[in-house]
Amino acid sequence: MSIEKISLVCLFSFVFGSYFPVGGQSGSGRNQLPAQVRYFPSQEDLMIIKHSIRCFLKNQKGIYRDKMLFNIRRVLDKYGISKYNFAAFSVHRSVGPGLSFIQGRHEISDRFCPGCGSDLYMVDSPVRILSILEGIHDKVIYGCACGEIFFQFEEK
Ligand SMILES: [Zn+2]
């Protein structure tokens, strides 16, 4: 092997060695990475987030909410990112209490789900609060059993 080839191999193992730490279960290699290296979440991990949210919105039980927030946080931590944008919403790592939160990108100005028209304030409404971001006006993020995620600014 020529000198050039050997140095090329070294360069590759150096580059890929730092990008793909070996011997790590998910997460264990994270701390060894330089801070500026960012992975792009895999399709599989993005599906885990979408599926967890869909499960909670369909079932609307506390255990699915916990699982959803846990799964979002686990994926964000795995890639060392604090947020990820989907087309209709974004997911964020919590700084304060809680694991993660979801932000809607579609603002509504009435009391109806833009997906299926359900009334937010009906007794048996299929709409659930996903997150509340406190501010001068609280930004309340809703998710509906139909899959729609949206938000509204509300008086305290
Ligand atoms: Zn709906």
88-130 residue pLDDT tens: 999 999 987 679 999 999 999 999 999 999 999 999 999 999 9
pLDDT of residue 156: 78
pLDDT of residue 109: 93
* CA 117 – ligand 1 centroid, Å: 6
Kindly report, residue by residue over 44-68, the tens digit of the pLDDT.
Answer: 999 999 999 999 999 999 999 999 9
Hey, what are 105's tokens? 């990108």
Q: Where are the chain's structural domains?
A: 3-32, 43-154
* CA 124 – ligand 1 centroid, Å: 13
**Pairing relationship of beta strands 127-133 and 100-104 according to DSSP bridges:** unpaired
CA 128 to CA 145: how far, in whole Å?
Answer: 8
* CA 71 – ligand 1 centroid, Å: 23
Q: Are 77 and 30 in contact (CB under 8 A)?
A: yes
Cβ-based burial of 46 (10 A; exposed 0-12, middle 13-18, buried ≥19): middle
For residue 19, give every residue at least 6 positions away whose Cβ sits within 8 Å of its Cβ, in sequence order, or none: 37
* CA 51 – ligand 1 centroid, Å: 17
